[in-house]
Structure 1
Amino acid sequence: MNPISAATHVDPYPYYAELRAGGGLSFHPDLKLWVASSARAVCAVLAHADCRVRPAREPVPKAIAASMAGKVFGQLMRMNDGERQRCPRSAIEPELAALDLDAVDRLVAARLITADADGVYKAMFRGPVCVVAALLGFTPAQARVVSELTADFVACLSPLSNDLQLAAANVAAEQLRGNFIELLAEPASDLLSAIQQRFVGDEETLIANLIGLCSQTFEACAGLIGNTLLALRRQPALRGESIDALLSEVQRFDPPVQNTRRFVATPCEIAGVRVEAGDVILLLLAAANRDPALNERPEEFLLNRENRRSFSFGSGRHQCPGQALALSIAGATVREILANGIDLNHLNWHYRPSLNGRVPMFSDVGA
C-alpha cells in the first residue's frame, strides 16, 4: 500500500495513522511527492497562497488540452486560483447556500429506485445529477440526459481513463455545453436566473462551471451515498438513527474523497518543512480527519460527535460551495433506498478504481 493506492484499500486507516505518526509532512521517494497526513499539515497546505490546484506549466492535463473537455476543465473554479476561481464561485456559492432544500426531497422521492444493485447504482450515480439539473431548470427528460453526459464527462478528470473514455468525455462536454447554452437563453429556474444575475464573466466560463457543478455532484454524492450504505451494512443498529447524523459522521470517518493535490508555485516553508517550486503535495484528507488533534476519539464512529471537524469538503478558498446540497441529496437518496427495502447483505461490492476517490460499486450476489 502507498498513500495513493490506500484510497481504495479495504481499510487504509491504520496505514494513515502510521503516516501521521511519522510526521505530518514527509517526502515519499517512490511517488516523488510530499505527503501531508496530519490535520496541521493539511490545513497549512490548503491555506498557503503558494500551493495551487494545478501546476503552473500544465493548467490543463496534456491528454485533454486540445479538446472541448480540456476547455471546460481549464475554466473550472475548482481547477483555478485567483480571479478565475473567485468570479464563478461568487456567483454560484451564495445561491446554492440559499436553496430551499425541501425541493431536494421531492425530486429524489419522484425517482423510481428498485430494490436491487441496478437500482442502487442509478440512485448513486444518476439520481444526484438529475436533481441538480432539475434545480437548474432542465425538464425530467433533459435532466436524465445531462446525468448520462456528466457520467461520461467525469472521465476527463481521472488520469486512469483510457483513450475511448477521454473521447467520450470530449463528446459529452460538447453536448453539455450545447444543453446549457439553450438553457441559459431562457432560464427556467430561480436558481439559474439568480446565478446569471450574479455572474460577471463570459458565458463560456459560466457554462463550464455549471458543468462542473454537475460533475462534482456526480463524484461527491455517489461516494457519500455508497459509504453510508456500507456503514449501515457493517452496523445494522444504525438503521434507526438519524440519516443526517449518519452522513455527517460518514463524511468524516470514511470520506468519498480520500486525497487531493497541491502544486508548489514558489519556494516556501510549510509546517516547518522547506518545499521548492514544482513540488507536488498529496493531501491525505481522510488521514487528517482521524487526527486526534482535530477530533477526539477519532477512530470511533460517533453519530452525536461534538464539534465534528472534517476536511472532506475541502477548506478555505477551495471549500466545496455545494456541501449542504450534496449532504441533502445524499441523505434523501439513502432514505429512499432504505424505504424500498433493499437488503444490503445480499449485495457484493468493491471500490471503483481511482487515485483519490473511495466509491463502492454494488452488484447482486451471483451476478
Structure 2
Amino acid sequence: MDPIIAATHTDPYSYYASLRAAGGLTFDPQLNLWIASSAEAVCAVLRHPACVVRPAHEPVPKAIAEGPAGRVFGRLMRMNEGEPQRCPKAAIAPGLQAIDRQQVEALVKARFLKDGAEGLHQAQFIGPTSVVAALLGFNPADSRLISELTGDFVACLSPLSDATQLDAAHRATEQLLTFFRERIEAQDNPLLARIGQGFADADTNSLIANLIGLLSQTYEATAGLIGNALLALIRDPALPHTLRADPTQISPLLVEVQRLDPSVQNTRRFVIAPCEILGAMLNPGDAVLVLLASANRDPQLNPQPDVLLLERPNRRSFSFGTGHHECPGQALALGIAHATLDILVERAPRLDRLAWRYRPSINARIPLFSDRPVAKAR
C-alpha cells in the first residue's frame, strides 16, 4: 500500500497509523512527495503561507487548461490564494450559513423516489446537488439536470479521468454556464442575490465559476458522507435501532463519521518558498500529500481515535479543511446528509442486501452501492 491508493482501500487506517509512527512529516522517494500524517504536521502544512493549493507552474491542470472546465477551475476560490480566494469565500459563506434547515429537509424529502441501491445512488449523488440548485432558484427538472451535469464536471478534477470523461466535462461546463447566466439574469432568488452582492466588484464569470464549485464540492463531499454513514450502520447493526429510537443521534453520528471515515482522505499543498516545518526543510517545487484522514485518527487529537463514539467530547477533525481554505459549505453538507439519513433510517432499508465498492479515486472515499443478487429458492 502507499498513501495514495490507501484512500480507497478497504481499511487504510492501520497503515495511516504506521505512517504516523514513522514520523508526522516524512519524505517518500518513490512518490517524490512529502507525507504529512500526524495532526501536528497536517495542521502545520495547511496553515503555512509557503504551502499553497496549486503548483506555481501549473495553476490549472494541463488536461483541462484549454477548455471551459479549465477556465472555471482557474477561478475557483478553493484553487487560489490571497484575494482570489478570500473574496469569493466571503461572498458565499454568509449566504450558506443563513439557509433554513427546514427548507433543506423539505427539499431532500421531495427528491426520494426509490428503495434499494438505485435509490441510494440518487440519495448520494443526485439529491444533494439538486437541493443546492433548488436553493439557488432552479426548478425541479433543471435541478436534477444540473446535478447530473455537475457529476460530469467533477470527473475532470480527477487525474484518473480519460479523454471521454474530459470531453463530457467541458460540454457539461458549457451547459452549467448557460444555466447560471439565465438564473442570474432572472434576479428572483434571495440566496443567489445575496451571494451576487458579494461579487459586485468581480466579473460574472467568477461568480458563476464559484457557484459551479459549490455544486462540485457538494457532489463529492456529501455523497461520501452519506455513503460512509451507511457503511457505519452496516458495520454496527445496533446503530440503525439507536437512530430510530432517538433521531437526535443522527447529527452526532454524521460528525463522528466525517472524522472517523471521511469522504476526503487527502489533499495536496505545493511549496513556493523555502520553509522549515517540524524540523524538515522544504524547498520550492516540493509537494506535500496531506493525509486528513490520518490526522483525524491521531490519538494526540482525539483519544480512542479508532472507535466510533456518538458522544465524543471535544471532537476535532480536518475533514472540511482548516485555516483560510476551510470549506464554507460544511453546515449545508451536514444538513443535507442529516435529512437524507433521517429518511433512510425511517424507511428501515435492508442494509444486508447491499454490496459496495469504492469509486476509483486518489483522494476521495466514496462508496458505491449495488443490490446483492437474491438467492433463488430450490
Match of 1:161 in 2: 161
Are 2:101 and 1:101 equivalent residues in the alignment?
A: yes
1:116-146 deviation line (CA, Å, top 9, x unaligned): 1001001101000000000011011110111
CA deviations on 1:76-114 (whole Å, 9 max, x unpaired) are 001111111111111001111121121110000111332
Structure 2 counterpart of 1:39: 39
Residue of structure 1 in register with 2:91 after alignment:
91
In 2, the alpha carbon distance for the partners of 1:170 and 1:315 equals 31
Provide, for residues 145-168 of structure 1, a one-character-per-residue CA deviation record: whole Å limited to 9, x for no partner.
Answer: 110100100011000000000000
Report deviation, 1:190. 1.2
1:157-196 alignment, distance < 5 Å: 157-196=157-196
| Separation (CA, whole Å) in 2 of partners of 1:323 and 1:3 | 25
Q: In structure 2, the residue corresponding to 1:157 is in which secondary structure? A: coil
Alignment of structure 1 residues 248-287 onto 2, 5 Å: 248-287=255-294
1:212 corresponds to which letter in structure 2? G
RMSD: 0.9
- SS at 1:274 equivalent: strand
Q: Residue in 1 aligned with 2:356?
A: 349
User: How much does 1:188 deviate?
Assistant: 3.0
SS of 2:370's partner is strand
Q: Give the match for residue 320 of structure 1.
A: 327
After TM superposition, give the deviation of residue 187 of structure 1 in Å: 2.8
Mapped partners of 2:9, 2:320: distance in 1: 21
Corresponding position: 1:223 with 2:224? yes
Deviation, 1:366, is 2.2
Following the alignment from structure 1 to structure 2, what is the Cα–Cα distance between the partners of residues 188 and 161? 37
Q: Is the 8 A contact 1:113 1:336 kept in 2?
A: no
Unaligned runs of 5+ residues in structure 2 are 244-248
Match for residue 212 of structure 1? 213
Give the Cα–Cα distance (whole angstroms) in 1 for the partners of residues 344 and 37 of structure 2: 34
1:331 aligns with 2:338: yes
In structure 1, the gaps of 5 or more residues are none
Cα offset for 1:296?
1.2
Question: How far, CA to CA, are the matches of 2:64 and 2:196 in structure 1?
Answer: 28
Distance in 1 of aligned mates of 2:278 and 2:54: 21
State the match for 2:236 in structure 1: 235
1:201 equivalent to 2:202? Answer yes
Q: How do residues 123-138 of structure 1 correspond to structure 2 at under 5 angstroms?
A: 123-138=123-138
> Corresponding residue for 1:80?
80
Query: Given residue 201 of structure 1, which amino acid in structure 2 is its aligned partner?
Result: A
Contact 1:68/1:173 (8 A) holds in 2: yes
Counterpart of 1:269 in 2: which secondary structure?
Answer: strand
Indicate if the aligned counterparts of 1:267 and 1:274 stay in contact, CA closer than 8 A: yes
Q: Which residue of 2 aligns with 1:58?
A: 58
Partner SS, residue 174 of structure 2: helix
In 1, the alpha carbon distance for the partners of 2:233 and 2:162 equals: 34
Q: Deviations over 1:241-281 (max 9, x none)?
A: 31111101000000000000000011111122100000000
2 CA distance for matches of 1:192 and 1:77? 17
In the aligned structure 1, how far is the partner of 2:292 from the partner of 2:207? 29
| From 305, 311, 316, the counterpart of 1:309 | 316
Structure 2: which amino acid aligns with 1:228? A
Letter in 2 for 1:326: A
Deviation string 1:287-324 (CA, Å, 9 cap, x unpaired) is: 00011111111111100001100000000100000000
Counterpart CA distance in 1 for 2:93 and 2:187 is 18
Quick one: percent identity of the two aligned structures?
A: 61
- 2:23 corresponds to which residue? 23
For residue 49 of structure 1, give the secondary structure of its aligned residue in structure 2: coil
One-letter code aligned to 2:80: N
- Deviations along 1:308-366, whole A, 9 cap, x unmatched? 00000000100000000000101111122233332111011000000000000000112
Given that residues 123 and 333 in structure 1 are in contact (C-alpha distance below 8 angstroms), is that contact kept between their aligned partners in structure 2?
yes
SS of equivalent to 1:26: strand
> Residue 137 of structure 1 contacts residue 187 of structure 1 at CA under 8 Å; is this kept in 2?
no
**Distance (whole Å) between structure 2 residues aligned to residue 142 and residue 339 of structure 1:** 28
Aligned 8 A contact 1:220 1:257 in 2: yes
What SS does the corresponding residue of 1:63 show, helix, strand or coil?
Answer: coil
Task: Determine whether 1:300 maps to 2:300.
Answer: no
TM-score, normalised to structure 2's length?
Answer: 0.96
Q: CA deviation at 1:15?
A: 0.4
The number of residues matched between the two structures is: 367
**Per the alignment, in what secondary structure is the counterpart of residue 54 of structure 1?**
coil
Find runs of 4+ consecutive structure 1 residues off by over 3 angstroms. Answer: none
